[in-house]
Amino acid sequence: MAFLSWHQRFSVGHAEIDQQHRRLFELVNHFDDVIQMGMPGELPHIVEDIISLGDAHFRFEEGVIQDTGFPRVAEHRKMHAELLDQIRVMQTRLMAGGHVSHKAVVRFLADWLTNHILREDMEYKPYLRT
Ligand SMILES: [Fe+2]
Ligand SMILES: [Fe+2]
């Protein structure tokens, strides 16, 4: 069973952004699947994919909200940079091995993604004209 399931409450009402969010959900689920399959060597690659897709998504989203009149574009951009920093720190820890609980990492990834969508991305939703 998928670790994260998409739900309408995650929709910001912009088809391309929703699609990108869904692809990030799929990567988090893939991370969980790979844990279940007992292939921990694959995990850093999946995190790498989350970082590159996340980075591309953040830049796309910043472009979309730029001209909407949403007043917190600069703060939103700063949050994106912090989110990338957080995931890179986690990636370093994962690569270093040691006592990293993979289940804790998948929960971190799920929270990392869903909290930002529900708390911060939703703030710009009323400003989108789609
Ligand atoms: Fe987003
Ligand atoms: Fe965002």
Measured between alpha carbons, how far is 46 from 42 in angstroms, rounded to an integer? Answer: 7
How does residue 2 score in pLDDT terms, banded at 50, 70 and 90?
Answer: confident
> What is the 106 CA–ligand 1 centroid distance (Å)?
18
pLDDT tens digits along 96-122? 877 789 999 999 999 999 999 999 999
Spatial separation of the C-alpha atoms in residues 25 and 114, rounded to whole Å: 9
* Residue where the block lists tokens 């708390």: 119
Distance 85 CA to ligand 1 centre (A): 16
Q: Are 17 and 60 in contact (CB under 8 A)?
A: yes
The CATH superfamily label for domain 14-127 reads Hemerythrin-like (1.20.120.50)
- Is the pLDDT at 130 greater than 70? The verdict is no
What's the CA dihedral at 92, 95, 101, 106 to 10 degrees? 70
Ligand with minimal distance to 22 CA: 1
Q: Which ligand is nearest to the CA of 57?
A: 1
From the CA of 21, how far away is ligand 2's center (Å)?
10
| C-alpha span between 29 and 32 (Å, rounded) | 5
Q: Check pLDDT > 80 for residue 129.
A: no
Q: Where are the domains of the chain?
A: 14-127
